Structure 1
Amino acid sequence: MASQTTDPASPAPTAPPGTDTTPKQPGGGGLTLFAVLLAVFVVPTSISGTAVALPAIGLDTGAGSAPLQWVVNGFNVAFACFTLVWGSLADLIGRIRAFAIGAAVFAVASVGCALAPNVYVLDGARVLAGIGGAAIFACGSAIISSAFEGPARAKAFALFGAVAGIGVALGPTVSGPAVDSLGWRWIFGLQAIVLAVVLACVPAIAKKVNEQPTPGGRLDVRGAVVFVLAMASLTYAIVQGSEWGWGSAGTLGLLALAAVLLAVFGSLSKSTEAPLLDLSVVRNRRFLAYTLVPVAASFGFVTQLTYLPSYLSAVAGYSASAAGTTMLLLTLPVLALPLVGAKLVERGTSPLAVVLASLLCLVVGDLALLLLGPDTSVFAMAPAMLVTGAGMGLSAGLVDGQALAMVEEEKAGMAAGFLNTLRLGSEAIAVAVFGSALTSLVTTDGSAAEHAASYDTAFHNLLWAMAAVSLVLGLLVVVLARRGADTTR
């Protein structure tokens, strides 16, 4: 908050007024972290790994391309819509309880996916899984914020970021062999089994970790309904925009509806005594600065993670396996560097300095990827891919810990929900816009060589655009962080 008197760059700032300062009970930290990280691993694995199973699901169910794509899109849309709701609900009923409910919903939905008789039931179960996944991410980070302090807290958030990155990177690797050897239904069955282990840990965690839900609080149902409808309109427009056309009546109508509903939500937040999103949290400029870092990563890193394999195949002639192996250069820093960032902060480096270094890596890495061409060797492209991955890896987890340290502990769930809403929402926007622009710029007529050349040119133009967006967001982070620091003096 603006009234804080502590140095915001400190890894363990003094708790603001009103914060629960009850000491965390020792002995439960390891089990708590294990359960949260295990659940967190399932969520991104489910997102990236399910895409591998789509061909097998299509063959088995006879589904068309549109309902088949919603096996992935349904999860993403539900996740984006309900993350903020779960974050606020966690502050009211307790983060561990909300986390357990979310994990149970995800587990039940995964069983439903495994037993689905057709693709429409599967789509519905995936929507339900997305609702549960939103609880896991929003409540999981809030639990870590409450259960750990000082260097242990920084390390826990670093592991949170690393495990999320591992889930994204290993999702296809884990799901591919499962589909080949066990069948696509077992992808969801394995998720249910893992979450059953998580749920078995919850009673022990509840006895070890102190938390104080808001007494007598009630969920802002009216605000929740308006926000969910707004996010559903926005994300559905983004998902369908490339198919309908960004200038079509359907896309523009949904975007306009989303804008109106978000305006209504903002008005309700000002007039409601206990709103779904307390706008005082968003007015904290340093908190807002940290929440924009994942947005920059969505444009500077996630777009490359999504479309670089297609470039390597379409332009450089890589096989699918070769392209996948090459992508390790982009993902390995995401696995290794979150702990490095935490260690730097532990040794006295300003968290903001580490974050700004990660943003600089995103810009430099995207610009360095401009050297890509049909004949570029792996050794030549390796530095660019490693630097881009470092842009994601250095700040992964760190921004969550620092952002939540800027707000009162009783609002940590709400803050975590807002942060993760921006994270997934920006990923959906970045990936959809990049893909739509790529489709419109690439020439489909002509020979294969002309198509590859067109793809090469379009990809390079979009690299300039993604680097520019990352740079602008990075400058905005600097401005907000400096102004936020001024208000603490």
Structure 2
Amino acid sequence: MRNTRNSNEMRHPLQRFLVLGAVCLAALVMPLSFTGPAVAMPAIAKALGGSPIALNWITNAFMLAFGSCLMAAGALADSYGRKRLFIVGVAAFALSSLALAWAPDILWLDLLRALQGVAGAAAFSGGVATLAQEFDGHARTRAFSLLGTTFGVGLAFGPVLAGALVESFGWRSVFLGVAALAALALAAGLRCIRESRDPGASGLDWPGAISFTAALSLFTYGVLRIPESGWNSLPTLLLLGSSLLLLGAFAVIEKRVRRPMLDLSLLRYPRFVGVQFLAAAPAYSYVVLLVLLPMRFIGIEGCSAMQAGQMMMALSAPMLALPFIAGVLTRWISAGVICGAGLLICAAGLLWLAQIAPGQAPSSLLLPMLTIGFGISLPWGLMDGLAVSVVPKERAGMATGIFSTTRVAGEGMALAIVAAILAALVQARLHGLLASVPPRMAEAAQRLAMGDMPQALQLLPQASQALLVQSYGDAFHILLYILAGITLLSAAMVFGFLSQPHVPAAGRIDALNTDEVEAV
């Protein structure tokens, strides 16, 4: 393979810009595929029905498949070609999105969402690894900051676009819109991106990929069962225990293979560990709100899908500019300080939002949501660049896979955990307010936590809508305090680990390029 750096020096800046545009266009459909179905979920539930667990899988199937396949996709990108994996991933993403628009029932919808997540992992890993080959130093930082801004565009306008499509054309049009954007990214990638690969790569670690994916799947399914079966039920304990055993098996496998997906020797270095804490932090401070708030606005507060989408812009609007600005600020302020400060701001916004109960004027929500969005935007555009900086350039696919897996798999697990916590808090509050405990209390609490007020009222005929709103509001208040505490802990970890000096990797990882690391 020709030397990447030399070929980059001969490559026209316009060509690099077109490559960046193709990857950013593909990245744009990822947040749209996440936020769109969250806004459309009440309409999907009304059209297709389904149990609370089945409806939760609309989001979790995508996130779980996306997160669990990222490390494998990163290894495949290094071994078989970044462009090849990018093109295959984007094409499969477009086709699965088209199929989702014609899903006949909730089971098919969940299965196709999982397929869409696998395709998204391939497209994302191939695209990000391609950017790492095209750009160096501060140019790489700016490129990844623009990638973060692109995500911000999708997160900011995704709910509004989804709300407008749902109200005008129905929920299926959300997936048709995603398919159209993916087709554009496919055309751009075919034309602009050139092939590259790691000559030292040795293919996919199949035992590691299978054990890791199975561990995440069992854990997520076990957590989703908790509101219905309880924390101490035998099936739940078996699922969670099996996931831990498989995770241990994954660690053993990765120590023995010659070219692992996850090089465990990296865990010796504080900065690498700090980057993984940073990857997981947005899940509890921001990502879960992208799902919970639309359900609250539509199901509890009675907003339309369009109104909910407009309100969600307050949460994601800072993503339009701040990730890129944060990338520029790294010339004067270290990335670790910027990221830690952003998480502190985010925690303050969560505490502020906790003070606003359902039923208050929508304008009272805007400032705390803007504060959360402002805080999370600061690290958002820096995280991918930090992840790539901790390994040699030739292992960019592996670095992207590890970091993105920590982030996206953490988001999928966070959604399952937070949904279970909210349902448990709602159930505990209902126990305190109702004179008697109805037989289907657990299911009613789960329905209410998902914003399904009509079904909750049907399951609890002795309860008024005002009482259910109060129960939900009290539970949501406590949940936001829990999320703020997790965010504060994450900020402390980021400050502590990312303040450590750069340490060159040893063993399987070659010495890092000091100039590239310092650029981030």
Question: What TM-score does the superposition give when structure 2 sets the normalisation length?
Answer: 0.81
CA distance in 2, matches of 1:127, 1:439: 24
Letter in 2 for 1:177: A
CA distance in 2, matches of 1:221, 1:212: 19
1:389 corresponds, among 345, 364, 373, to: 373
CA distance in 2, matches of 1:119, 1:434: 22
Q: 1:484 to 1:231 in 2, by over 3 A?
A: farther
Q: In the alignment, which residue of structure 2 is the partner of 1:339?
A: 324
Q: Deviations over 1:3-41 (max 9, x none)?
A: xxxxxxxxxxxxxxxx96435222321211111111111
User: Does the Cα contact within 8 Å between 2:78 and 2:198 map onto a contact in 1?
Assistant: yes
User: Does the Cα contact within 8 Å between 1:315 and 1:456 map onto a contact in 2?
Assistant: no
**1:215 Cα shift?**
4.2
CA distance in 2, matches of 1:167, 1:421: 20
CA distance in 2, matches of 1:81, 1:402: 21
Q: 1:46 to 1:28 in 2, by over 3 A?
A: same
CA distance in 2, matches of 1:113, 1:456: 33
Q: 1:355 to 1:193 in 2, by over 3 A?
A: same
Q: In the alignment, which residue of structure 1 is the partner of 2:112?
A: 125
Matches within 5 A, 1:432-447: 432-442=416-426, 443-444=429-430, 445=434, 446-447=463-464
Matches within 5 A, 1:128-139: 128-139=115-126
Q: In the alignment, which residue of structure 2 is the partner of 1:160?
A: 147
CA distance in 2, matches of 1:131, 1:257: 23
Q: In the alignment, which residue of structure 1 is the partner of 2:22?
A: 35
Q: Deviations over 1:56-96 (max 9, x none)?
A: 55566676665555443322221122111101111111222
Q: 1:179 to 1:438 in 2, by over 3 A?
A: closer
Q: Deviations over 1:135-166 (max 9, x none)?
A: 12222222222212233322221221122232
**1:259 Cα shift?**
0.9
Q: In the alignment, which residue of structure 1 is the partner of 2:346?
A: 362
State the secondary structure of the residue aligned to 2:380: coil
CA distance in 1, matches of 2:303, 2:176: 33
Gaps of 5+ in 2: 435-462, 506-513, 515-520
Letter in 2 for 1:222: P
Q: 1:120 to 1:88 in 2, by over 3 A?
A: same
CA distance in 2, matches of 1:374, 1:59: 23
Q: In the alignment, which residue of structure 2 is the partner of 1:4?
A: none
Question: What TM-score does the superposition give when structure 1 sets the normalisation length?
Answer: 0.86
Letter in 2 for 1:37: C
User: Does the Cα contact within 8 Å between 2:100 and 2:113 map onto a contact in 1?
Assistant: yes
State the secondary structure of the residue aligned to 1:395: helix
Aligned length: 468
Gaps of 5+ in 1: 1-18
Letter in 2 for 1:459: F
State whether structure 2 residue 471 is matched by structure 1 residue 454: yes
CA distance in 1, matches of 2:179, 2:309: 27
State the secondary structure of the residue aligned to 1:22: helix
**1:483 Cα shift?**
3.5
How many percent of aligned residue pairs carry the same amino acid? 35
**1:55 Cα shift?**
5.2
CA distance in 2, matches of 1:355, 1:95: 29
Q: In the alignment, which residue of structure 2 is the partner of 1:5?
A: none
CA distance in 2, matches of 1:203, 1:401: 24
Q: 1:58 to 1:379 in 2, by over 3 A?
A: closer
**1:416 Cα shift?**
1.0
Letter in 1 for 2:382: L
1:420 corresponds, among 401, 404, 421, to: 404
User: Does the Cα contact within 8 Å between 2:150 and 2:320 map onto a contact in 1?
Assistant: yes
Q: What RMSD in Å do the two structures reach over aligned CA positions? A: 2.9
Matches within 5 A, 1:295-306: 295-306=280-291
CA distance in 1, matches of 2:109, 2:470: 39
**1:309 Cα shift?**
4.7
Letter in 2 for 1:396: W
State the secondary structure of the residue aligned to 2:323: helix
Q: 1:205 to 1:85 in 2, by over 3 A?
A: same
Q: In the alignment, which residue of structure 2 is the partner of 1:105?
A: 92
Q: In the alignment, which residue of structure 2 is the partner of 1:10?
A: none
Q: 1:76 to 1:59 in 2, by over 3 A?
A: same
**1:106 Cα shift?**
1.3
1:276 corresponds, among 253, 261, 264, to: 261
**1:357 Cα shift?**
1.4
CA distance in 1, matches of 2:91, 2:317: 31
Which is worse superposed, 309-318 or 185-194? 309-318
State the secondary structure of the residue aligned to 2:99: helix
Letter in 2 for 1:460: H
**1:240 Cα shift?**
3.4
